[in-house]
């Protein structure tokens, strides 16, 4: 007789048992690999000593950011450098350059900028000030590159010598803002966009209701773009000792100028005084070997800025003084959303918890809030503002340092600080509020889908996006927008010692450069993050202090994974280091991706936003 087959349930449970066994095996294997890596790291040779003499190699990659975007530690371990290559911390660059200026072991600096994708002129300005400090120490800076994009060239212009590949170019285009306008497309798709706003200049909603830029938007956008471009061009012309307006002449007449040099972009850059020498890669290497010393026949004597930073941090830990008073630093980077949010996005609850954490540290005498944000949820912005007010009421001053952007909700959380600092090229203001509610009843009707039903009140269908908004619903949203705008004006007036009527004149969604914002009283001082930190120390009479960055505590598991990922441990099956997209394309795509990501995460409980969609810091 043939053996009877097991029943269906027995077979199912048998399969589940086998699957569980396989999963246990995989988990055990993963754990074993991690343990082996940890044990291997324990038996590695000690970190080699700093070279007696070396050049500091500064080669940032990806986009320069205030705070790195959160990546799960396990993902970071198995795909290590994908995130690390995409972003470089601004604070890491500035700290490294500043410390190297006073280090006798560092003889010079080499700027290798080919992998830099950008980050905005405000951040470049702060790096530039650190480079000036380095030069003041008497140490030369050499910049080398196959090509120089606009952001790359700004940093290169601080160098004593700039070497460009004979096949390369200095690629300058100027600044521009060219949003995509969707009104016609939405009309064809039969999407009805209900817009609610306050202020002539609140152009965040224009792409949804127009096919072109309004005159008001054109006026104020061009104003801040010209301010930033004037700063860019004048700075480089002074650093390179070239005639005033030479950069505008180069950009606006590039075609005619290239005709004179038979299309040779590198030769044109040399003749214009933008670079000092055209050097092939072997020529560049020989030049660096002659100045910094030869490490071997393929390299010069240098230390990477990441490695140098690790050395200096370790030294700082060993030399740190326990019990020293502190200035706390909290970074608020990204769009402002409700609730808990990962690094790279500002969560109302997340940032609130950081302020509460800081107040529990008796050694923290003042706080610096570094803001780099286009805004977002009005509700979450006010939650953060209230926490800042609570911190100040408990005797801890709060100083705001604005990065590239502190607009709309980013200004909302900044306005009531003890002091507000920004760089001349910071984009701020955009004091305005809007609501946006799309409905799809016509789109659905066109394909045969209709909505009908009953409700107990006139507002029962207010959240039905497949039905048109009633006049009462529209009235309610507009009144909410008006009320929140009035609240915005009042809190700014309180923080800036003014009146709502006076603030309204410079509000209405208008964007200002940091330079102009100081003139009209929206900020107190122009300066870098370091300037703001020193101002905080002065405010509480601290001559010596420790700077403590306030971050969300990690659990033991996260700490272990992060240490492995950041400690140079690279698993043999981890992904490749180089991304598929060139840095310049990454730089262009990043603002669009961030905007789309923000729109997908909108979560304000009242659907009202203080956000500057058109703000993209050049």
Split at pLDDT 50, 70, 90, the class of 577 is: very low
Helix (H, G, I), strand (E, B) or coil at 394: coil
2 pLDDT exceeds 60? no
Q: How many CB atoms lie within 10 A of CB 258?
A: 15
Residue 302, strand partner residues:
55
Identify whether 487 is part of a domain.
yes
Provide Rg for the chain, Cα atoms. 28
Q: Are residues 358 and 460 in the same domain?
A: yes
Q: Which of 133, 577, 51 is nearest to 300 (CA)?
A: 51
Give per-residue pLDDT as tens, 134-192: 999 999 999 999 999 999 999 999 999 999 999 999 999 999 988 889 899 999 999 99
Q: How many CB atoms lie within 10 A of CB 612?
A: 29
Q: Are residues 433 and 551 in the same domain?
A: yes
Mean residue pLDDT of the chain comes to 84
Q: How many CB atoms lie within 10 A of CB 179?
A: 18
Domain finish residue from 503, 533, 558: 558
CA distances from 261 to 256, 257, 270 (A): 9, 7, 11
Q: Are residues 171 and 280 in the same domain?
A: yes
Q: Are residues 417 and 269 in the same domain?
A: no
Q: Are residues 293 and 440 in the same domain?
A: no
Query: Domain of 407: which CATH number?
Result: 3.90.226.10
Identify whether 338 is part of a domain.
yes
CA distances from 182 to 194, 204, 209 (A): 14, 12, 7
pLDDT for the residue 506:
93
| Residues 614/177, Cβ–Cβ less than 8 Å | yes
Identify whether 608 is part of a domain.
no
Domain finish residue from 527, 558, 589: 558
Q: Give burial (CB, 10 Å; 0-12/13-18/19+) of 521.
A: middle
pLDDT for the residue 618:
66
Give per-residue pLDDT as tens, 587-596: 555 555 555 5
Residue 221, strand partner residues:
none
Q: Are residues 301 and 251 in the same domain?
A: yes
Handedness of CA 346, 349, 350, 354 (dihedral sign): positive
- Mean pLDDT is lowest, of 345-349, 412-416, 566-570, for 566-570
Split at pLDDT 50, 70, 90, the class of 84 is: very low
Q: Are residues 251 and 399 in the same domain?
A: no
Residue 436, strand partner residues:
195
Q: Are residues 523 and 547 in the same domain?
A: yes
Number of domains in the chain: 2
Q: Are residues 351 and 259 in the same domain?
A: no
Identify whether 290 is part of a domain.
yes
Catalytic site positions = 202, 408
pLDDT for the residue 217:
86
Distance CA 443, CA 161 (A): 60
Split at pLDDT 50, 70, 90, the class of 562 is: low
pLDDT for the residue 324:
84
pLDDT cut 70: percent of the chain above it: 77
Written as six digits, the tokens of 66 are 């205030």
Identify whether 577 is part of a domain.
no
162 backbone dihedrals φ, ψ, rounded to 5°:
-120, 125
pLDDT for the residue 279:
95
Q: Are residues 428 and 478 in the same domain?
A: yes
- Stated as kind and residue range, the H or E segment containing 597 is helix 583-600
Q: How many CB atoms lie within 10 A of CB 558?
A: 14
Identify whether 390 is part of a domain.
yes
The more confident residue out of 298 and 57 is 57
First to last CA, the chain: 81
| Residues 379/606, Cβ–Cβ less than 8 Å | yes
Identify whether 211 is part of a domain.
no
Split at pLDDT 50, 70, 90, the class of 578 is: very low
Q: Are residues 293 and 350 in the same domain?
A: no
pLDDT for the residue 597:
55
Q: Are residues 327 and 297 in the same domain?
A: no
Residue ranges in 157-205 assigned as alpha helix (H): 183-188
Written as six digits, the tokens of 558 are 């996260």
pLDDT for the residue 137:
95
Q: What is the domain range of residue 232?
A: 54-73+86-176+226-310
Give per-residue pLDDT as tens, 261-291: 999 999 999 999 999 999 999 999 998 998 8
198 pLDDT exceeds 90? no
pLDDT cut 90: percent of the chain above it: 60
17 pLDDT exceeds 80? no
Distance CA 590, CA 575 (A): 22
Identify whether 181 is part of a domain.
no
Domain finish residue from 310, 334, 365: 310
């Amino acid at each position: 007789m043939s053996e009877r087959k097991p029943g269906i349930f027995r077979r199912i449970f048998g399969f589940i048992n086998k699957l569980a066994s396989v999963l246990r095996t995989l988990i055990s294997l993963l754990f074993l690999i991690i343990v082996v890596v940890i044990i291997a790291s324990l038996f590695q040779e000690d970190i080699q000593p700093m070279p007696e003499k070396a050049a500091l190699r500064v080669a940032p990659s990806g986009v320069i950011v205030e705070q790195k975007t959160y990546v799960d530690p396990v993902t970071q371990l198995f795909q290590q450098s994908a995130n690390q290559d995409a972003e470089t911390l601004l604070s890491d660059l500035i700290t490294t350059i500043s410390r190297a200026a006073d280090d006798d072991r560092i003889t010079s600096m080499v700027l290798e900028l080919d992998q830099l994708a950008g980050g905005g002129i405000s951040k470049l300005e702060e790096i530039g000030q650190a480079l000036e400090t380095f030069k003041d120490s008497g140490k030369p800076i050499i910049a080398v590159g196959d090509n120089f994009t606009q952001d790359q060239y700004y940093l290169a212009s601080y160098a004593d010598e700039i070497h460009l590949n004979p096949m390369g170019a200095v690629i300058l285009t100027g600044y521009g803002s060219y949003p995509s306008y969707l009104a016609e497309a939405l009309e064809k798709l039969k999407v009805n966009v209900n817009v609610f706003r306050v202020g002539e200049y609140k152009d965040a909603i224009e792409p949804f209701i127009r096919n072109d830029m309004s005159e008001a938007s054109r006026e104020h956008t061009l104003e801040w773009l010209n301010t930033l471009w004037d700063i860019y061009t004048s700075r480089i012309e002074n650093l390179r000792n070239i005639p005033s307006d030479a950069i505008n002449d180069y950009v606006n007449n590039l075609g005619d100028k290239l005709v004179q040099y038979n299309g040779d972009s590198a030769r044109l850059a040399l003749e214009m005084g933008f670079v000092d020498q055209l050097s092939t890669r072997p020529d560049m290497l020989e030049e660096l070997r002659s100045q910094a010393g030869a490490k071997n026949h393929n390299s010069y004597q240098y230390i990477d800025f990441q490695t140098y930073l690790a050395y200096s941090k370790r030294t700082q830990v060993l030399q740190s003084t326990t019990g020293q008073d502190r200035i706390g630093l909290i970074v608020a980077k990204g769009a402002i959303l409700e609730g808990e949010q990962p690094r790279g996005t500002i969560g109302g609850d997340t940032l609130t918890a950081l302020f509460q954490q800081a107040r529990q540290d008796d050694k923290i005498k003042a706080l610096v809030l570094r803001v780099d944000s286009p805004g977002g949820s009005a509700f979450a912005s006010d939650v953060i503002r209230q926490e800042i007010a609570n911190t100040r009421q408990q005797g801890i001053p709060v100083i705001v340092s604005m990065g590239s952007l502190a607009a709309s909700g980013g200004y909302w959380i900044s306005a009531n600080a003890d002091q507000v600092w920004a760089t001349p090229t910071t984009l701020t203001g955009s004091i305005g509020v809007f609501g946006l509610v799309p409905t799809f009843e016509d789109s659905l009707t066109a394909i045969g889908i209709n909505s009908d039903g009953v409700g107990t009140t006139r507002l029962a269908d207010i959240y039905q996006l497949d039905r048109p908004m009633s006049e009462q619903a529209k009235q309610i949203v507009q009144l909410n927008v008006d009320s929140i705008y009035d609240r915005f004006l009042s809190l700014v007036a309180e923080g800036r010692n003014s009146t709502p009527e006076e603030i309204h004149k410079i509000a209405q969604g208008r964007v200002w450069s940091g330079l102009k914002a100081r003139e009209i009283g929206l900020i107190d001082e122009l300066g870098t993050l370091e300037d703001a930190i020193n101002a905080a120390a002065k405010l509480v009479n601290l001559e010596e202090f420790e700077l403590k960055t306030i971050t969300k505590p990690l659990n033991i598991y996260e700490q272990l994974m992060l240490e492995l990922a950041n400690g140079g441990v690279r698993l043999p099956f981890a992904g490749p280091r180089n991304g598929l997209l060139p840095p310049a394309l990454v730089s262009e795509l990043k603002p669009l991706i961030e905007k789309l990501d923000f729109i997908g995460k909108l979560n304000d409980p009242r659907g009202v936003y203080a956000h500057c969609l058109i703000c993209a810091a050049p």
